[in-house]
Amino acid sequence: MTNIDVKNITEFHEAIATVKMTFPNCWYRGLTDISYPLSPSIYRLPYKAELESTFLGRFKSQTPPFLTNIPRNDWEWLFMMQHYGVPTRLMDWTELPLVALTFALKKINKKADDTKDLVIYCLNPKELNKKVSGINYNDNDPIPFIGNEQEHLYGVGKTSKNNLPIAIIGPLNNHRIIAQKGSFTLFPFKLDQNIDLHPDVNDYLIKMTLKTGELYELKTALNNLGISYDSLFPGLDSIANDIIKPFKK
């Protein structure tokens, strides 16, 4: 996989320009530790994909009293579960590189936090979908809205094997997805191989390594542009955090 090292905000902008030359249509995902796997939460311990049906059943059973609008199908339920932190086979991406950078730098609050490299993955969703087997790729609709077409390979509890996730558009059912220009990859129930280890990975994925040593300065530069983690989550929690942030030491 192609890697680009980044040490400061200038190099970040240069790296994005380089990525855009290779992947004109790009999604981004920022991680707070370079060692974290590029896989959805339900594949990571203590969870496993077989728990999805259990989580879905319990979520459906317990949440209706708190909902204004009840999801119409399992797909909508999964997106709601993802929004509230229940592990699913969905993985969040953003169309905005500065949003991905903000997520990657989330835990850098002082110079002492700058102890390890961070990472932003850059995905070409169209090229990824061209390599998904069992799905009819359509140049006129390269990133489909999640629906019945994906059910046979990616439906809840389906055990059909597939070695790649599919890039999809989900329902814009909460303000955070809209604010972050959120997009998703949906992973198969049985994961044969990590997305970043596939033989064709260079066709759809570029890795951007944020090098330790200047991460605090990089976050400061980002904040000076008026971009912070709290600003990506509009609501009462972010307002409260913004009020007390100047008084934190």
DSSP state letters, 200-222: TGGGTEEEEEE-TTSHHHHHHHH
Q: What is the pTM of this model?
A: 0.85
Q: Which domain holds residue 114?
A: 2-63+71-241
Going by their DSSP bridges, the two strands 166-168 and 161-162 should be labelled as unpaired
Q: Which of 209, 211, 206, 208 is nearest to 195 (CA)?
A: 206
Instruction: Establish if 248 belongs to a structural domain.
Output: no
Q: Give the pLDDT of the chain (249 residues) as one tens digit per residue.
A: 899 999 999 999 999 999 999 999 899 999 999 988 888 888 888 988 888 889 999 999 998 888 888 888 888 888 888 888 889 989 999 988 998 999 999 899 889 999 999 999 999 999 999 988 777 777 877 887 877 776 767 777 666 666 688 898 876 555 555 555 568 999 888 776 678 888 889 999 999 999 999 899 999 988 887 776 666 665 555 556 555 555 654
Instruction: Establish if 228 belongs to a structural domain.
Output: yes
Contact 118, 12 (CB under 8 A): no
The C-alpha atoms of residue 200 and residue 213 are separated, in whole angstroms, by: 32
Instruction: Establish if 247 belongs to a structural domain.
Output: no
Instruction: Establish if 170 belongs to a structural domain.
Output: yes
Instruction: Establish if 249 belongs to a structural domain.
Output: no
As for how many domains the chain has, the answer is 1
Instruction: Establish if 212 belongs to a structural domain.
Output: yes
Instruction: Establish if 214 belongs to a structural domain.
Output: yes
Q: Residue 150 class from Cβ within 10 Å (0-12 exposed, 13-18 middle, 19+ buried)?
A: buried
Contact 160, 152 (CB under 8 A): yes
Instruction: Establish if 12 belongs to a structural domain.
Output: yes
